[in-house]
Amino acid sequence: GAVVSQHPSRVICKSGTSVKIECRSLDFQATTMFWYRQFPKQSLMLMATSNEGSKATYEQGVEKDKFLINHASLTLSTLTVTSAHPEDSSFYICSADTGTSGGTDTQYFGPGTRLTVL
């Protein structure tokens, strides 16, 4: 149980285009989903926290107009990288909280999406 999927797993796009990444909880409802960014050989940096039906909370330094997050249902959150540039190339990972124990328990991670902007 507690499987999280991401789509696509890999995407290459031209500079200036927008890319949408989907994160789905397959067998549970996720009231909260998280989006992380990971540069090569580095750790995960939290970008934003996404709650179903409300606006996402962005971490300091993350541009909300550039990284649009929509958590439209209890099983789906999307991250849209708008007007992508080469510096946006990274590994984007989502996770979902099962909502047990006041939200402080395990997050389940998706397999990640490798974005390359040419």
Partner 1 sequence: SQQGEEDPQALSIQEGENATMNCSYKTSINNLQWYRQNSGRGLVHLILIRSNEREKHSGRLRVTLDTSKKSSSLLITASRAADTASYFCATVPYSGAGSYQLTFGKGTKLSVIP
Which residues lie near partner 1 (CB under 8 A)? Answer: 4, 6, 32, 34, 36, 41-46, 49, 91, 93, 95, 97, 102-112, 114
Q: How far is the CB of 109 from partner 1 (least distance, A)?
A: 4
Please identify, using beta-carbon distances, which residue of 2 and 83 lies nearer to partner 1. Answer: 2
Q: How far is the CB of 83 from partner 1 (least distance, A)?
A: 26
Q: Would you mind telling me the total number of residues written for the chain in this entry?
A: 118
Please identify, using beta-carbon distances, which residue of 6 and 78 lies nearer to partner 1. Answer: 6
Q: How far is the CB of 80 from partner 1 (least distance, A)?
A: 20
Query: Which three-class secondary structure string do you get for the chain?
Result: CCCEEEECCEEEECCCCCEEEEEEECCCCCCEEEEEEECCCCCEEEEEEEECCCCCEECCCCCCCCEEEEEEECCEEEEEECCCCHHHCEEEEEEEECCCHHHCCCEEECCCEEEEEC
Please identify, using beta-carbon distances, which residue of 61 and 86 lies nearer to partner 1. Answer: 61
Residue tagged 């047990």 (tokens): 100
Q: How far is the CB of 78 from partner 1 (least distance, A)?
A: 17
Please identify, using beta-carbon distances, which residue of 32 and 78 lies nearer to partner 1. Answer: 32
